Amino acid sequence: NAGVTQTPKFQVLKTGQSMTLQCAQDMNHEYMSWYRQDPGMGLRLIHYSVGAGITDQGEVPNGYNVSRSTTEDFPLRLLSAAPSQTSVYFCASSSRWDRYKGTVETQYFGPGTRLLVL
């Protein structure tokens, strides 16, 4: 049981390049999400998915695309990298927390990807 995995761990891009950050989980979680972390800003939600084939925007979605073709994978695509996208990116997953359930569902995080855009 690997939990949440992310690749790569570190990436340097030039402005205008595109790339995909990979995220996978083996816990059969419905809910997956991407966050970016910048100094003094905490973690901000980029995109999320409540199940395969269903995605939606979070707080800071501009410049990023996602898709969810399987339960396990939730890749994040940078279409045309900009220096403002220099950040640490975290993927997270959890069971979908139904408000009518009694138990709160915890989100589990991947190790993060450090991205530098020059």
Report the interface residues with other proteins, using CB under 8 A.
31, 33, 35, 40-45, 48, 50, 56, 58, 88, 90, 92, 96-109, 111-112, 114
Q: In this complex, which beta carbon is closest to other proteins, that of residue 28 or of residue 103?
A: 103
Tokens 């970016």, located at residue: 36
User: What DSSP character marks residue 61?
Assistant: -
Least distance from other proteins to the Cβ atom of residue 80, Å: 26
* Distance of closest approach, residue 111 Cβ to other proteins, in angstroms: 6
- Complex with other proteins: residue 14 or 100, whichever CB lies closer: 100
| Shortest separation between residue 106's beta carbon and other proteins, angstroms | 5
Of residues 4, 30, 8, the one with CA closest to residue 78: 8
- Helix (H/G/I), strand (E/B), else coil: 92: strand
CB-side exposure of 50: number of CA atoms within 13 Å? Answer: 6
What is the rounded radius of gyration, in angstroms, for the C-alpha atoms of the chain?
Answer: 14
CB of 44 to other proteins, least distance (A): 8
For residues 17 and 27, which CB has a smaller minimum distance to other proteins in the complex?
27
Of the two residues 2 and 98, which places its CB atom closer to other proteins in the complex?
Answer: 98
Who contacts 40 (Cβ-Cβ below 8 Å, separation ≥6)? none
